[in-house]
Structure 1
Amino acid sequence: MRSTRGERTFYLFNYVLLTLAGILCLLPLLHLASLSLSGKNAVLSGFVSLWPRDVTFESYKLLFEGTPILRAFGNSVLITVVGVALSMIVTICAAYPLARREFYGRRWISLAIVFTMLFTGGLIPTYLVVSSLGLVNTYGALWLPALVSTYNMMIMRSFFENIPEELVEAARIDGSGEWRLLLRIVLPLSLPVLATIGLFYGVYYWNSFFNVMIYVNSPEKLNLTVLIQQMVRSQSVLQEINAMDTQQANNITPEGIKSAGIMVMIIPMLIVYPLLQRYFVKGVTIGAIKG
């Protein structure tokens, strides 16, 4: 079917608009990368824009040698991996029974869960609950409040509902129980939504900031996001670097160190997203369609 002239004009307008939006999102990232790779004189002169000048890796070298960024990176990986695993397990266990038509009371349970999207207990009651459970200064305080997202659970439930009922009935005729049906039939058919929801949870846990500031007190347990924020707002980390090696420190600028830290925080998500991108659109759109 050939497109009309109006449709072609509409598509062209969308392509141009989205391309411009993509370029605008990419420019700050290129500028940060250029600052982190440029020499001191080039940065101080203000000539660094979208392409590095006097390329050097001293900022990254001193960042890894003079700051606890590797420990913070490990903490972020631990928080993200364990958090995503726990959240996915709980989300699947909540979405699957609510997707089964024979599950008694699923409508009222779904309404009760959706109610939590509109009204929450608030920050102080949540902190009191976490504190009473003895989870302050532990990563459990980050995992427990975010164990399941209502929005993610509803998307996954809708996706499960769209799985053909004939497959489910055929598996039950063959003697499959609910757990085997879930693990052997439903989950293999749900890779798009699993990858999408996993990405949502991964981005949330990797960028955890506010909860870490509230619940985690030990500097050794801080994640990468909080460490980079402290570097950007405080000069204490930069002063430690200057005291470590005067000759090397003279070849870098605070802007270069800060930019290098931000790039280290961003790069893992830039690597993971393209791997899951082919599932992303399908997982969101199919999970949002009832039929």
Structure 2
Amino acid sequence: MRENTAGKWFHASVHAILLLAAVSCLIPLINIIAVSFSDSAAIDSGFVWLWPIHFNLEAYKTLFIGSRVIPSFMNSLYITVIGTGLSLLCTTLAAYALSRKYCYGRKFMTLAMVFTMMFSGGLIPFFLLIKSFGLINTYWSLWLPGLVGAYNLLLMRSYFEGIPAEIEESARIDGCGEWRLLVQIFLPLSMPVVATICLFLAVGYWNSFLNVLIFINDAEKMNLTVFVQQMVQSQSMLIQTIALQPEDLENMSPEAVKAGGIVIMTLPMLIVYPLLQKYFVKGVMLGAIKG
């Protein structure tokens, strides 16, 4: 069926708007990267825009040699890997149980999970709850509260419910139990939604900021997000964070160091997202058709 003129103009307008939105998101990122690789004189004069001027690596040398960027990066990596693995495991088990029609009380538990998406106890009760469990200054204060997210649970449950019942019946006839059914049948068929939820969880844990500030008191346990925030907050905090003297900044722009920290913080997600992009849209759309 051929598209009429109005339809063509509509699609052209939509594509133009999406292109402008994409460019508006890319330009600040490209500018930050350019600043991180530019000379201090070019940065201070305001000449740097989308391409580095007088290319140098002094900002990154300062970050990797004279600061805690590597320990903070490893803390973020530890929080993300362990937290994503635990959350994905618990979400998968809960979603599989709630997707089975013979699960007793599954409607009540589903409604209880939906209720948490609309109402919360507030920050102070949340802090008192974590403190009562003795989780202050431990990474469990970051992992345990978000072990099973309501949205992720509903998404995966809907995907499991969309798997044809004939596949399950055939597996059970062959003597397949619950664990084997989940591991060898459901999970291989659900890779799009698993990859999508894995991406959601990884981005959330990697960008953890408020919970780290509230629950983690030891500077040695701070993640990369908090480290970069402390650098960006003020120049005095920058000097303290990277352990430099004020005169050391004469030959290096503080803006380049800040930009370098932001690049280091965003780079892992920029690498991971394209690898999972092919599953992303498929996992969200198929999981949202039913339920």
Q: Into which bin does the TM-score normalised by the smaller protein fall?
A: over 0.9
1:244 to 1:233, Cα distance in 2 relative to 1, 3 A: closer
User: For structure 1, which segment, 72-81 or 127-136, has the greater mean C-alpha deviation from structure 2 after superposition?
Assistant: 127-136
Corresponding residue for 1:238? 239
Unaligned runs of 5+ in 2: none
Q: CA deviation at 1:126?
A: 1.6
Q: Which moved more, 1:226-235 or 1:69-78?
A: 226-235
In structure 2, C-alpha distance between the alignment counterparts of 1:284 and 1:124, rounded to whole Å = 33
Inter-partner Cα distance in structure 2 for 1:8 and 1:272: 35
Match runs of 1:84-163 below 5 Å: 84-163=84-163
Question: Secondary structure in 1 aligned to 2:245?
Answer: helix
Using the alignment, how far apart are the partners of 2:8 and 2:168 within structure 1? Answer: 43
Cα deviation code 1:236-288 (max 9, x no counterpart): 33255543994xx4331110000000010011100000000000000000000
115-124 or 210-219, larger mean C-alpha shift: 115-124
Distance 1:151 1:44 in 2: 45
Q: Deviations over 1:73-113 (max 9, x none)?
A: 00000000000001001111111111112223211221111
1:269 aligned residue = 269
What displacement does 1:185 show?
Answer: 0.3
Secondary structure class of the residue paired with 2:63? helix
Q: Distance in 2 between matches of 1:242 and 1:218?
A: 21
In 1: Cα distance, 2:140 partner to 2:108 partner: 30
Aligned residues: 289
Tell me if the contact between 1:98 and 1:106 (Cα under 8 Å) persists in the aligned partners.
Answer: yes
1:66 and 1:244 in contact (8 A); partners too: no
- 1:170 Cα offset (Å): 0.4
The question of whether the paired residues in 1 share the 8 Å contact of 2:72 and 2:227 is answered with yes
- In the other structure, the counterpart of 2:43 is 43
The question of whether the paired residues in 2 share the 8 Å contact of 1:36 and 1:59 is answered with yes
Amino acid in structure 1 at the alignment position of 2:239: L
In structure 1, the partner of 2:287 is: 287
Q: Deviations over 1:115-172 (max 9, x none)?
A: 1111222212221221121110010000011111101110111111100111011001
Task: Tell me, yes or no, if the aligned pair for 1:58 and 1:252 is still in contact at 8 Å.
Answer: yes
Contact 2:239–2:246 at 8 Å: present in 1 too? Answer: no
| Stretch moving more, 233-242 or 149-158 | 233-242
**Structure 1 residues 124 and 242, CA gap change in structure 2 (3 angstroms):** closer
- The 8 Å contact of residues 37 and 256 in structure 2, kept in 1 or not, is answered as yes
Task: For 1:114 and 1:58, locate their aligned partners in 2 and report how far apart those are by CA, in whole Å.
Answer: 50
| TM-score, length-scaled by structure 2 | 0.96
How far off its partner does 1:10 sit? Answer: 1.9
Contact 2:91 2:153 in 1 (8 A): yes
Q: Distance in 2 between matches of 1:245 and 1:181?
A: 65
Matched to 1:222, the amino acid is M
Asked whether the equivalents of residues 58 and 251 of structure 1 are also in contact (C-alpha less than 8 Å), the reply is no
Alignment of 1:75-86 (within 5 A): 75-86=75-86
Superposition pairs for residues 199-278 of structure 1, below 5 Å? 199-234=199-234, 235-238=236-239, 241-243=243-245, 246=248, 249-278=249-278
Matched, 1:2 2:2: yes
Distance 1:108 1:44 in 2: 60
How is 1:16-55 mapped onto 2 (pairs within 5 angstroms)? 16-55=16-55
TM-score by length of 1: 0.96
CA distance in 1, matches of 2:275, 2:167: 29
Aligned-partner residue type, residue 194 of structure 1: V
Report how far residue 37 of structure 1 moved. 0.5
The whole-number CA distance in structure 1 between the counterparts of 2:210 and 2:246 is 31
